[in-house]
Amino acid sequence: MSFKRTIYAVDTHAGTPMRVITGGVPHIPGNTVFEKMKWLEENDDQLRKLMLREPRGYPAHCCNIIVPPCHPEADAGYIIMEQIEYPVMSGGNTISVVTVLLEMGMLPMQEPVTELVLEAPAGLIRVKAECRNGKVKNVTFQNVPAFAAHLDAVIEVPHLGKVTVDVGWGGMFYVIADVRQFKGLELKPEHGREITRVSSMIRQAAIEQLPVAHPDYPGVGITISQLSGPTEDPNADWKNAVTMASGDFSWDDPATWTGALDRCPCGTGTSAKMAVLHAKGELPLHQDFRHQGLVNNIYTGRLIEETRIGEHTAVIPTVTGTSWIYGLNTFVLDHDDPFTEGFTIGDIWA
């Protein structure tokens, strides 16, 4: 049979589904993985939409493409694709990519620990994977430097009033708010609709009121939000709910005041939260930080050293977590299919 596109992928999850494309993508030019990502964004954004929108995806879906590395130290490269952007880094997706590379035999597995280097758009990511009986039991990666861009900033959020937030970079710029500011709102699945409503409004207000800049990524601003709060689980230190945008936001259209909840504890979000806590003097170096997601699984973070990013004091985080393979798929685009970029409908999408 003949198809317009044929894509081979391994589906994984750590709560959130994170697809890993292993074949079917033509050569992507570029001298770095960052350049490959930018080329894809400008020349073949159809692939991202096709994989993440209906009928092949849904609002909380993420996707990655395995690509040849450009850096001589790297064992593999990967491009991260999400609903509204191409992040330069993602923790959960990194864990999923490592799991696929090793469990599918794309890179050799060494037990009990496999060490490898990946090239993300953000640069080299050093990884240690604990392996046993042919399975990846957990993945620890050293993230890009993280830093606090704003601490205890008060923003005016339409319909919510004044909200105190932090903004941290952990591979993406997160606006972070303590959930206890919102009466009756708790970090639990049954409050998911209200979490996304509040979080999307906070994100948009922060975009408008809190300028941010990263010296390596001009023009990258706040794109994601995190509600944070205490947990009753003795095995965790904080609980979080990260809301990813699933479409455009308009203050004039309440139907757009929503998003998709990250079902995993979020690696870049954990890194941003740790950077904020460290800047406030509440999290020292070399101390485990157990971050719990909405479905109660946990990523364990740790700050291993201080550094600088431009004018900011920064920290180097590590994050440990687990992802699981749940599907081996061949996706196709029929020549007669009119929905060449997939589609979204307002019952579940912004």
Clarify whether residues 39 and 171 are in a common domain: no
3-class DSSP state for residue 342?
coil
DSSP code per residue over 254-276: GGGS--EE-SS--HHHHHHHHHH
In the annotation, is 63 catalytic? no
The predicted structure's pLDDT at residue 1:
79
Give me 170's structure tokens: 């952990």
Q: Where does the pLDDT of residue 102 fall: very low under 50, low under 70, confident under 90, or very high at 90 and above?
A: very high
DSSP code per residue over 276-288: HHHHTTSS-TT--
Clarify whether residues 112 and 170 are in a common domain: no
> How many domains would you assign to the chain?
2
Clarify whether residues 226 and 279 are in a common domain: yes
Structural domain includes residue 338:
no
CATH code of the domain covering residue 263: 3.10.310.10
How large is the average pLDDT for residues 31-44? 98
Clarify whether residues 281 and 171 are in a common domain: yes
Predicted confidence (pLDDT) at residue 220 exceeds the cutoff of 90: yes
Clarify whether residues 138 and 194 are in a common domain: no
Q: Which residue has the tokens 């709102």?
A: 185
Mean pLDDT (the chain, rounded): 97
Give me 137's structure tokens: 């039991």
pLDDT tens, position by position, 253-292? 999 999 999 999 999 999 999 999 999 999 999 999 999 9
Catalytic one of 62, 63, 90, 131: 90
Q: Residue ranges of the alpha helices (H) in 53-181?
A: 91-103
The predicted structure's pLDDT at residue 190:
96
DSSP code per residue over 280-342: TTSS-TT--EEEE-TTS-EEEEEEEEEEEETTEEEEEEEEEE--EEEEEEEEEE-TT-S-TT-
3-class DSSP state for residue 193?
helix
Structural domain includes residue 70:
yes
Mark residue 205 as left, alpha or beta (left: phi above 0; alpha: psi -120 to 50; beta: remaining): alpha
CA distance 56 to 44: 17
The predicted structure's pLDDT at residue 350:
86
How large is the average pLDDT for residues 238-256? 96
Domain range for 158:
146-318
CA distance 294 to 231: 10
